[in-house]
Amino acid sequence: MRYHRPGLDVLAHTLLIIGALIFMLPVILAVLASTQTPGALFSGTLPLSFGTSGLDHYLTLLSEPVRGIGVPAWRLMLNSLLMALGIAIGKLVFAILAAYALVFFRFPFRRCCFWLIFVTLMLPIEVRIVPTYGVVADLGLIDSYPGLILPLIASATATFLFRQFFLTLPPELMEAARVDGAGPWRFFIDILLPLSKTNIAALFVIMFIYGWNQYLWPLVAMSSADNATLVMSLKRLTLSTDGTPPWHLATAMTVLALLPPVVVIIIMQRWFIKGLVDTEK
């Protein structure tokens, strides 16, 4: 058949495999380098196989205070996890409640509220970083988890998505629930939440990744070593005054930083793609 050319299929597979390999290459090299002894690594030619150090560098990073950071990497990972979960759960809870109110209740200034929330879609925290620092400092929340998490929750992506979803539900649903004697709270818990399960899962993946990977705001807001996150600490290992960074540690640290979100995205791929593509609409 003219429409399908086997030659092109071969070309497509070849290109895709090459593409996938190129995209994996940086991570493969980092994993290989993280298992080398410093001597083998700095001998001039990077060995393209697993080294003799095994997981030693990882264990060192995780158990002993990292040079230049002051706390072991497990602490950094725990802080990152707290931040990511705080952002993901916080965003979901606030967003779903706000969308519920916006769609199912009539109250004064409803349109105005919608626009107030909607405007936040446009401006990432990086733009308002200096005044945000001022506000958080005025509230006495610098170097604390509420101070870290709350400004990152102040955005409307999730609210918007839930609003779109709630609008597709037939209004009869709420009327039927009311006839059956369910109050607004009951309707929310027993009907709306179960219907939103896939949306919640999708947004959770996106927000978890977004939270874990935050860089600038934690750097500004978390001043003590005990509160540092993993991603914001990467620079401490790549910055070196005498030229070459301690790559055996820097690569191991980077692998630790990218492993949790990559595992999440691969396991929850289906929801992630649904969530990502839905936010466009």
Partner 1 sequence: MAPQLIIVLVFFFWPAITALRQSLYVQDAFGLGETFAGLANFTRVLASRSYHEALVNTAIFSVSVALGAMAIALLLATMADRVLRASRAYRTLLIWPYAVAPAAAGVLWMFMLDPTLGVLTRAMTVLGIDWDFRLNGGQAMALVIVAAIWQQMSYNFVFFLAGLQGIPASLLEAAAIDGAGPWRRFWTITFPLLSPTTFFLLVMNTIYAFFETFGTIDTTTSGGPGGATRTLVYKLYQDGIVGLDLGGSAAQSVLLMLMVGLLTLVQFRYVERRVQYH
**Of 64-103, which residues contact partner 1 (CB under 8 A)?**
94-95, 97-98, 100-102
Output b/e per residue, 228-250; b: 16+ Cβ within 10 A.
bbbbbbbebbeeeeeeeebbbbb
Q: Which stretch binds partner 1 (CB under 8 A): 51-59, 66-74, 176-184, 263-271?
A: 263-271
Smallest separation (angstroms) from partner 1 to the CB of 140: 13
Residue number, 169 or 258, with CB nearest to partner 1: 258
Smallest separation (angstroms) from partner 1 to the CB of 84: 11
Smallest separation (angstroms) from partner 1 to the CB of 65: 20
Tell me the site size for partner 1, rule CB under 8 A. 94
**Of 242-261, which residues contact partner 1 (CB under 8 A)?**
243-245, 247, 250-251, 254, 257-258, 261
Distance of CA 260 to the CA centre of its chain: 10
Q: How far is CA 265 from CA 119, 201, 269, 272, in A?
A: 29, 12, 5, 7
Smallest separation (angstroms) from partner 1 to the CB of 200: 16
Q: In degrees to the nearest 10, what's the CA dihedral of 72, 78, 84, 89?
A: -170
Helix/strand/coil percent split, the chain, to 5? 70, 0, 30
**Of 117-176, which residues contact partner 1 (CB under 8 A)?**
117, 120-124, 126-136, 139, 150-151, 153-156, 159
CB 251 within 8 A of CB 34: yes
**Of 165-194, which residues contact partner 1 (CB under 8 A)?**
none
d(CA 12, CA 280): 28
d(CA 81, CA 74): 10
Other CB atoms within a 10 A radius of the CB of residue 19 amount to 10
d(CA 56, CA 36): 9
Under rule CB under 8 A, residue 50 binds partner 1: no
Smallest separation (angstroms) from partner 1 to the CB of 44: 7
Under rule CB under 8 A, residue 42 binds partner 1: yes
**Of 190-229, which residues contact partner 1 (CB under 8 A)?**
209, 212-213, 215-216, 219-220
Residue number, 97 or 176, with CB nearest to partner 1: 97
